[in-house]
A and B are shown apart, each in its own frame.
Chain A
Amino acid sequence: MNEQELRGLINEVKDGTVSRRAFIQRLAAVGLAAPLATQLLSFAGVAHAQTQYAYKPTKAGGGGALKLLFWQAVTLINPHFAVGTKDQEGSRVFYEPLAGWDQEGNLVPFLAAEIPSRENGGLAADGLSVTWKLKQGVKWHDGKPFTADDVVFNWEYVKDPATAATTIGSYKDVIVTKIDTYTVKVAFQKPTPFWADAFVGAVGMIIPKHLFADYIGAKSRDAPTNLKPVGTGPFRFVDFKPGDVLTGERNPDYHIPNRPHFDTVELKGGGDAVSAARAVIQTGEYDYAWNMQVEDEILVRMEAGGRGKTMIVQGGDIEFITLNTTDPWTEVDGERSSTKTQHPLLSDPAVRKALSYLVDKDSVQKFIYGRTGIATPNFVAAPARYASKSTSYEFSIEKANQTLEAAGWKRGSDGIRAKDGKKLKMVYQTSINAPRQKTQAIIKQACQRAGIDLELKSVTASVFFSSDVANPDTYTKFYCDMQMYTVTMLQPDPERFLQQFASWEISNKDNKWQGRNISRFRSEEADKAIRASSSELDPIKRAAELIKINDIAITNHIVIPVVTRPRVFAASNKMTTHISGWDNSLWMLHSWYRE
């Protein structure tokens, strides 16, 4: 989709011939996350939709206890230290950001009085700043008022490298200033079409200045409030046992009327996903369970006649295969997969193309992931049910054979193809996890029928995803030909996501394998598009560039997307929850209720 098409589409939304939803779906199909799509609309002068949520209770409280089960227990409740989503979820019970993302990608205000837009003057025309108006009359749980000072403090706290905040990426390049007690300005170094990053969603939770001010930088770990949060959220802190249970009680001063419905909240952790699903769906001991990484078959069986249901929400996480562009088997200057080398087999575009024909995504979806993994042609994940026009995928052993034959790869006596004395034998690695090993087996079988011999390798997850420089089996070293894993897209800006194809992000010895470009792909065209997208003032041109990067990676078969992985939750049949794939699952906890 190019710039012109995009503009036409936006105009159609303005005229009303195309609905917002259809626009978001069209963009999603070519690889742009829903939040970016709505940001595009807001820059083009189409106001954010105000989503209304079903909420039946007429008064706050009276809902009894809400029991949430997390099979990965919450270990810390300072949102800026969160190591995984579980910690963000735990923090979200007490803390709130200025705004959150709903499933359609719309911004929903929490501590903001309104969502900045061109009309209300919140968005600068040059894209260099965004001004947030804060909601007045909001109180911290200890009664102190919430003001602009708190917001500015959060920026100072997070951007200090000594604080070692995991959210630093969203704050280090912006400048936050206080305009008045209830107005804050976020200034960017360059025009930033995706302006809703700092203070928004999972990375945006705001902690109180008056309790954290003395614990900025190196002293960050010593703050007593790290373990006893004082926030603005719907529930007040009662007790926390790291790795076990987190409890809260209703905040009677909550700033949204009639909420929350529940009197207490309990977040129990530990155990495994299957038994968590059982406690919600089958026995009804718990009201809600998070992140059901359970084979779909088992979920379906539990749902039959159970007390709960599963909810599947589309997000941006993607399971994909990376093809190495460098030679992992030759050591140059003390490192394998060096950028000074070329992959002996995969540098032939025909081999890469053949491999992409051999990944049977539909079977992987059908037999392995079920509802929890949906085949996709795109890297920037999107709902696959809206087939993309610019990219597509096909499983065809025949076409793979033809492609290889045409490129001169001839079958040997052992059935394995070879060319110039090089045999089509490759090592394909992934982390140990049942669905991944099954996927490997499906792909290996297809490759065999096309004359490619795959050696399967599986590495313990704790090694594979480790940043241990001394270990040769980490995914960032990529010392093999193909590998498969999932990248999460919790807080959705495809620009950072797509830097995985930037030549300056190549993972190598010099940056201790910390670069994001694992495939070591180098393409001037991609670099140009990435540079253009990051400095492009016009959001529509930028979107077109981002889509182009996705398409370059897909058409060059640098990555082969397998399935997008929607988030899966379980809840009691009586519960009404509001889940979003672009934010924490507890983001709308204040509006949950039980009938």
Chain B
Amino acid sequence: MGNYLLRRLFIAIPSLLGISVVLFTVLALAPGDPFEELASNPNIPPEVRAALRLKFGIDDPVFVRYFRWLSAMAQGDWGFSFVSRVNVDSLILQRLPATLIVIGSSQILALLIAIPVGVYAATRPYSIFDQIANTLAFVGFSLPTFFTGLLMILVFSIWLDWLPFVYRSDIAATGWRFYWEHVRQAVLPVAVLGVFQAASYTRYVRSAVLDVIRLDYVTTARAKGLDERVVIVKHVVRNALIPVVTLVALQMPSVFGGAIVTEQIFRVPGIGSLLISSILANDTPVIMAVTFVFACLVVLFNLIADILYGWLDPRIAFR
């Protein structure tokens, strides 16, 4: 096991290096200028843009910039944002809590919906409940979050005026009010993301439970005269959740990606909105760092999923 882990980690290093080369090259080929806003203001002399480009090393050849980035990264220096001149690591750390809260709660919400609905639907296949659940799940993951997000803003913020649609990281209130305000503003983004995720998880849970429920040991358990609830919860769901757990682990990076749009709509100050605004501003060091973090997440969660497989299902050996 330890040996396997070590080997996998060693494989991860060259893949991350490869990813970083690709990211850097793509960014270098992409046109744009972090100081473009200075362009159409005749009060700012063009020399200032030139001086800034020189100062931040933007005009150096790509490979020079890449090795500078790599060696700095190896020493734990993530560089600084051209636009805000703040260190990239502190910028990311500032954004992480909001992302984790929103994504974390939306995942919990998604599982809280998906597991009961999926299991119940699978135990009564082709019943009316199953058909309704299936239809809703289909609708749920066909509707993109940018659409449902706007729809919810329109209904809950503008027509009904119940909930705010601007997410704030600096709520001035204290005590219970502080938590209440946080919950209120998180409701819409969490619901939008959670419902979207719940839809795809529901279909997955349903099919996983259907696979398990036909197996012989379930029939045996029933034949022993066990209560149906015990059969489902103890025998079926536990085994059916093995693939679901790995699915959730593998989906995490794409969930971060999917949250980018939602973050933008609700102005959640998360990593996703940081990535979008830096792409719009051509802020290369930040784009590089955030995308690299995403790449690391993909590699890491793949590894976790592999380990989880072996741990949950001893038939898979580590070799």
Q: Do A and B bind each other?
A: yes
| Residues of A in contact with B (beta carbons under 8 Å apart) | 65, 69, 73, 75-76, 81, 83-84, 161-162, 164-170, 172, 203, 218, 221, 226-227, 239, 241-245, 247, 264, 266, 268-271, 275, 278-279, 282-283, 285-286, 460-463, 465-468, 471, 473, 475-476, 485-491, 493, 496-497, 499-500, 511-512, 514-516
> Assuming the A-B contacts A467-B53, A515-B46, are A244 and B169 also in contact, with contact meaning beta carbons closer than 8 angstroms in the complex?
yes
Q: For the complex, give the distance between the alpha carbons of A214 and B83 in Å.
A: 22
Q: 14 additional contacts, CB 8 Å, given A242-B86, A271-B166, A514-B46?
A: A75-B84, A76-B86, A84-B37, A166-B44, A166-B48, A168-B48, A242-B81, A242-B84, A283-B161, A462-B33, A463-B32, A466-B31, A467-B50, A497-B42
> Assuming the A-B contacts A164-B51, A164-B55, A512-B50, are A270 and B36 also in contact, with contact meaning beta carbons closer than 8 angstroms in the complex?
no
Closest 6 A/B residue pairs (Cβ): A514-B46, A466-B33, A244-B269, A242-B84, A75-B84, A462-B32
Number of interface residues of B (CB under 8 A): 54
User: Is the CB–CB distance between B48 and A169 below 8 Å?
Assistant: yes
User: Is the CB–CB distance between A514 and B39 below 8 Å?
Assistant: no
> Assuming the A-B contacts A283-B158, A516-B42, are A466 and B50 also in contact, with contact meaning beta carbons closer than 8 angstroms in the complex?
no
B193-201, B228-236, B274-282: which lies at the interface: B274-282
User: Is the CB–CB distance between A271 and B35 below 8 Å?
Assistant: no
For residue A166, give the distance in angstroms from its CB to the closest CB of chain B. Answer: 6
For B82, the closest partner residue in chain A by CB is A83
> Assuming the A-B contacts A69-B166, A81-B85, A279-B165, are A467 and B35 also in contact, with contact meaning beta carbons closer than 8 angstroms in the complex?
yes
Q: For the complex, give the distance between the alpha carbons of A65 and B37 in Å.
A: 31
Q: For the complex, give the distance between the alpha carbons of A227 and B45 in Å.
A: 25
User: Is the CB–CB distance between A488 and B41 below 8 Å?
Assistant: yes
Q: For the complex, give the distance between the alpha carbons of A518 and B50 in Å.
A: 18
User: Is the CB–CB distance between A245 and B170 below 8 Å?
Assistant: yes
For A284, the closest partner residue in chain B by CB is B161
For residue B257, give the distance in angstroms from its CB to the closest CB of chain A. Answer: 18
For residue A505, give the distance in angstroms from its CB to the closest CB of chain B. Answer: 10
Q: For the complex, give the distance between the alpha carbons of A497 and B42 in Å.
A: 6
Q: For the complex, give the distance between the alpha carbons of A168 and B45 in Å.
A: 8
User: Is the CB–CB distance between B170 and A243 below 8 Å?
Assistant: no
User: Is the CB–CB distance between B83 and A76 below 8 Å?
Assistant: yes
CB < 8 Å neighbour of A65 from B32, B52, B80, B172: B172
For A469, the closest partner residue in chain B by CB is B59
Q: For the complex, give the distance between the alpha carbons of A226 and B39 in Å.
A: 23
For A271, the closest partner residue in chain B by CB is B267
What 1/0 flags go to B64-104 for Cβ under 8 Å of A? 00000000000000001101111000010011000000000
B40 sits at the interface (CB 8 A) = yes
> Assuming the A-B contacts A75-B84, A467-B49, are A275 and B170 also in contact, with contact meaning beta carbons closer than 8 angstroms in the complex?
no
Q: For the complex, give the distance between the alpha carbons of A86 and B46 in Å.
A: 20
User: Is the CB–CB distance between B36 and A467 below 8 Å?
Assistant: yes
For residue A292, give the distance in angstroms from its CB to the closest CB of chain B. Answer: 16
User: Is the CB–CB distance between B37 and A83 below 8 Å?
Assistant: yes
Q: In the complex, which residues of chain A have a beta carbon less than 8 angstroms from the beta carbon of B269?
A: 241, 243-245, 270
Q: In chain B, residues 218-259, which have Cβ atoms closer than 8 Å to a Cβ of chain A?
A: none
> Assuming the A-B contacts A76-B84, A266-B170, are A461 and B36 also in contact, with contact meaning beta carbons closer than 8 angstroms in the complex?
yes
> Assuming the A-B contacts A247-B170, A271-B267, are A75 and B83 also in contact, with contact meaning beta carbons closer than 8 angstroms in the complex?
yes
B273 sits at the interface (CB 8 A) = yes
Q: In chain B, residues 2-48, which have Cβ atoms closer than 8 Å to a Cβ of chain A?
A: 31-48
For residue B183, give the distance in angstroms from its CB to the closest CB of chain A. Answer: 17
User: Is the CB–CB distance between B85 and A221 below 8 Å?
Assistant: yes
For residue A310, give the distance in angstroms from its CB to the closest CB of chain B. Answer: 18
Which residue among B31, B34, B51, B157 has the maximum number of chain A CB atoms within 10 Å of its CB? B31
B164 sits at the interface (CB 8 A) = yes
Q: In the complex, which residues of chain B have a beta carbon less than 8 angstroms from the beta carbon of A266?
A: 168, 170
Q: In the complex, which residues of chain A have a beta carbon less than 8 angstroms from the beta carbon of B86?
A: 76, 227, 242
B302 sits at the interface (CB 8 A) = no
Q: For the complex, give the distance between the alpha carbons of A78 and B190 in Å.
A: 35
B264 sits at the interface (CB 8 A) = yes
> Assuming the A-B contacts A84-B37, A279-B166, are A466 and B273 also in contact, with contact meaning beta carbons closer than 8 angstroms in the complex?
no
User: Is the CB–CB distance between B273 and A496 below 8 Å?
Assistant: no
